[in-house]
Structure 1
Amino acid sequence: MTLDQWLTLLGRQHPVAIDLGLERLTTVAERLSLTGRPLARHVVTVAGTNGKGSTVAMVDAIARAHGLSSGTYSSPHLRRYNERVTVKGQYVTDDQLVAAFERIEAARTQPGLPEVSLTYFEVGTLAAALIFQEAALDVVVLEVGLGGRLDAVNIFDADVGVVTTIGIDHVEYLGSDINAIGREKAGIFRRGAGAVLGSSDLPASVREVAEHCGVGTLRQLGESFVRTDAVDGHWSWSGHDAKGNDVELVALPDPHLPLDNAASAIQAAWLAFGPLSAERVARALSSLDMPGRLQWKGPWCLDVSHNPHAAAYVARYFKARERQGTVPARRVAVLGMLGDKDPDGVIEQLQSVISEWIVVSLAGDRARDADTLVAAVKRHGGHVLARCDTVDQAMHYCETLQPYADERLVCGSFLTVAAALDYLDAQSE
């Protein structure tokens, strides 16, 4: 089968899309000989509500800048499934993924043993692990899909666990108690390993879990490592290496990603495979290309922010631009969201930096109809210019506005941003 055919099959072979728990996955991993040995010389696992993807990308870039071979596993993808797995800075090929899926299928249906049903994400996690072990990498960086303790990537032990931020999200799986959510995400920590707390505003439960499980080294942003704000495009970081020695990196380039995540990535790298060179960290941060994270294409800014915490960061970003003199006459947002997300929270955070809204319906079982977004925008005093049935319609409508919007934000979902990028690429052909 082709990769697309495999992905279609994987999407429907398990009765539910999300099935938290490690027992089924561990059974198949053992059949594949994936347990009992590390994925790489150094493994970093990243959990949190927001900032996971950028933290993964920065740890990976720092590792490669220091001459280490590395791989990443992240989700969801923006446009192609292959984006989820990288080896040495490159997306894996269709053939690599298909070969891994075939091995997993043979293992889960192994004759003489009970057949094991796996979710789309669980199969993808095992596929990434097979590819990493075959590549014999120095560093592997894993992004938790949902939660932490019961997420598929947690079957692999990490030398360093990072928790970026904690917010209320995925309440149907994690609940609405912030401390309970913190405990779930902190489930990635291991006895004797490193723990990086990537926010000064984490619930107390995260640190409690880290200390209770007996991590070897605990570093928290604002306490044991700190960062300055970016001034004239540069910032500085100071913290501790794995032995507790003071270390400092100065004149680092602004990666145009949250600096809390950049600081956490640097601290995780120090613990996992330091020492680090300021010159090489600077090179890593300068090389980053994160599609869908405050990505500019002409007047369009595309960001996958789909919860209030992420939307607040986008709002702060635009306010900082305005303080620096970039004040558009008109900034219009194209917003499309999934049904399990919080539109009121997102709109409330963005309303102060958005002039008008174009709302769009997304396709699929989890999609949110544009009419509910219209109501949410109006609840927060916003003005809806149009309600569209597709992202293409919304993009075209925005382009025909008179007067034109000086800046156009596309946000609310990976699906919204992916469709917008497809539209812009088609327009440029």
Structure 2
Amino acid sequence: MSEALPTTLDAWLARLEAAHPVGIDLGLERVAEVAQRMGLLARPLAGRVVTVAGTNGKGSTVAMLEALARAHGLTTATYTSPHLLRYNERLRLDGEEADDATLIAGFAAVERARLDGEPVSLTYFEVGTLGALWAIARRVPDLALLEVGLGGRLDAVNVIDPDVAVITTVAQDHAAFLGTDLEGIGREKAGILRAGRPAVLGSRDLPRSVRRVADELGAEVHSLGEAFAWDPTLPDPGLPLDNAATALQALRCAGVTLQPEACRRAFTEVRLPGRMQWLGQWCLDVGHNPHAATYLADRLAAQPCAGRTLALLGMLADKDAEGVIAALAPAVDAWVTATLGGERGRGAEELADCLEGQGAEVLHRADSPAAAATWLASRLAPEDRVLVCGSFFTVGEVLEWLAPSTPAGQTDTDTSSREVAT
């Protein structure tokens, strides 16, 4: 008798976390087999598909693409990862988070296909990706926006051929899977490009390997600073302008005739939680590599405060803590470290040792981000500010901790500070 499937989202997620022997297992053979069984490769997923890869800036580019598309009257489906507070954040349909029933139906569809023939083992991310693609395919929106989880070439998202491929930035991150050679990382991210289709390159500093792959494929290259740039007549969206320009160009390559008023409306209204998100004295950003940390430090330096700038830092063990600390140090007066649990977690003591090794002042070591926030909250002067960073896990936990004290409807106390460093 077949095993009964879970009936709640939490039960499904617990099942998926335990189903595959490793959390990250790059490669498309298993995913493609199940996608084929599900019929996802037999017909278009949407009117147009835009896939976005990059070390940093993916989240902001996708958020602006979604806002722009909706402002132009298009139906949309957006798949991103990871999430901050709720798994439902990963799939957005016409601007709204998918409900539990939609996600559960997608997981069940994947499970049926996975077992239809020789069983195929899939990771948590792979099941989530296929389930989201199944939900998107049932709606066939005008525009599907897919954010690559890790790398590009071997990421589960890349099982779908995009009509437009976007690469935002290339820097070091996920070294255990992608290595530390930027040319090699660039080739991996360029794996989302397709022959003869638009390739939107959203950084002036991409490795040469990205352009080389595009040229070998005969992709239609649109490069920042050459084919397009930011239009200063548009309002500042509070997100990096390179990413804003990239989103505009990608939408144009997807066949949309840009309307200035719709673009203005989109950039005025776009929001992205956990990216230079200000809640009172607290600034929350998921930046977790040196490239993102440098951007954060520059933004903080451009907005000096009368008091101290304190950092609440929690990072995973596979991230470059020393590089992040070195990049943030010029903008931070003192630090509080927090332990992140799990098999990839890093202890507060280890982070504190890294900080003190660079001559930084560590005020406290906490067992969790929430405990660190509690300790800090009672010691802040009115003119101080706190940067919460280092991981999605860190920001998500502190966001949840802050929620009871945040007035309903409040997101950012300073809309000029809505920057991103994903």
Q: The TM-score by the shorter chain falls in which range? A: over 0.9
Aligned to 1:375, the other structure's residue is in SS state helix
- For 1:356-395, list aligned pairs within 5 A: 356-395=334-373
Structure 1 residues 404, 71: closer, same or farther in 2, change over 3 A?
same
Residue of structure 1 in register with 2:394 after alignment: 416
Aligned to 2:254, the other structure's residue is in SS state helix
**Distance in structure 2 (CA, Å) of the matches to 1:132 and 1:402:** 46
Residue of structure 2 in register with 1:193 after alignment: 197
Following TM superposition, by how much is the alpha carbon of 1:328 offset from its aligned partner in structure 2, in angstroms?
2.8
Is the counterpart of residue 139 in structure 1 residue 143 in structure 2? yes
Residue of structure 1 in register with 2:228 after alignment: 225
Is the counterpart of residue 334 in structure 1 residue 338 in structure 2? no
**Distance in structure 2 (CA, Å) of the matches to 1:390 and 1:404:** 24
Can you give the 5+ residue segments of structure 2 that lack an aligned partner in the other structure? 1-6, 408-422
**Distance in structure 2 (CA, Å) of the matches to 1:405 and 1:387:** 23
Partner amino acid for 1:373? L
Check conservation: 1:226, 1:263, Cα contact below 8 A.
yes
Partner amino acid for 1:303? D
**Distance in structure 2 (CA, Å) of the matches to 1:402 and 1:270:** 47
Following TM superposition, by how much is the alpha carbon of 1:124 offset from its aligned partner in structure 2, in angstroms?
0.8
Residue of structure 1 in register with 2:239 after alignment: 257
Following TM superposition, by how much is the alpha carbon of 1:404 offset from its aligned partner in structure 2, in angstroms?
5.2
**Distance in structure 2 (CA, Å) of the matches to 1:3 and 1:288:** 28
**Distance in structure 1 (CA, Å) of the matches to 2:398 and 2:131:** 29
Tell me the alpha carbon deviations over residues 19-77 of structure 1, each in whole angstroms, 9 at most, x when there is no partner.
11111111111111110322101110000101111111111111110000011000000
Following TM superposition, by how much is the alpha carbon of 1:402 offset from its aligned partner in structure 2, in angstroms?
5.9
Can you give the 5+ residue segments of structure 1 that lack an aligned partner in the other structure? 228-236, 238-249
Residue of structure 2 in register with 1:241 after alignment: none
- For 1:9-408, list aligned pairs within 5 A: 9-110=15-116, 113-215=117-219, 217-227=220-230, 237=231, 250-322=232-304, 327-401=305-379, 403=381, 406-408=384-386
**Distance in structure 2 (CA, Å) of the matches to 1:157 and 1:287:** 30
Which structure carries more relative contact order (alpha carbon 8 Å, separation 6+)?
2
Residue of structure 1 in register with 2:410 after alignment: none
Following TM superposition, by how much is the alpha carbon of 1:380 offset from its aligned partner in structure 2, in angstroms?
2.0
Could you list the runs of 4 or more consecutive aligned residues of structure 1 that deviate by over 4 angstroms after TM superposition?
A: 402-405
Partner amino acid for 1:226? A
Partner amino acid for 1:222? G
**Distance in structure 2 (CA, Å) of the matches to 1:36 and 1:320:** 50
Partner amino acid for 2:150? L
**Distance in structure 1 (CA, Å) of the matches to 2:266 and 2:385:** 29
**Distance in structure 2 (CA, Å) of the matches to 1:225 and 1:365:** 43
Tell me the alpha carbon deviations over residues 49-108 of structure 1, each in whole angstroms, 9 at most, x when there is no partner.
011111111111111100000110000001100000001000000000101111111111
Following TM superposition, by how much is the alpha carbon of 1:137 offset from its aligned partner in structure 2, in angstroms?
0.2
Structure 1 residues 347, 405: closer, same or farther in 2, change over 3 A?
farther
Following TM superposition, by how much is the alpha carbon of 1:209 offset from its aligned partner in structure 2, in angstroms?
0.4
Partner amino acid for 2:320? D
**Count of equivalent residues:** 401
Structure 1 residues 186, 402: closer, same or farther in 2, change over 3 A?
closer
Check conservation: 2:307, 2:381, Cα contact below 8 A.
no
**Distance in structure 2 (CA, Å) of the matches to 1:397 and 1:17:** 33
Check conservation: 1:398, 1:405, Cα contact below 8 A.
no
Check conservation: 1:38, 1:156, Cα contact below 8 A.
no
Aligned to 1:321, the other structure's residue is in SS state coil
Check conservation: 2:199, 2:221, Cα contact below 8 A.
yes
Check conservation: 1:331, 1:405, Cα contact below 8 A.
no
Following TM superposition, by how much is the alpha carbon of 1:427 offset from its aligned partner in structure 2, in angstroms?
3.8
Aligned to 1:366, the other structure's residue is in SS state coil
Check conservation: 1:332, 1:405, Cα contact below 8 A.
no
**Distance in structure 2 (CA, Å) of the matches to 1:402 and 1:318:** 18
Following TM superposition, by how much is the alpha carbon of 1:195 offset from its aligned partner in structure 2, in angstroms?
0.4
**Distance in structure 2 (CA, Å) of the matches to 1:382 and 1:63:** 45
Percent identity between the two aligned chains: 52
Following TM superposition, by how much is the alpha carbon of 1:379 offset from its aligned partner in structure 2, in angstroms?
2.1
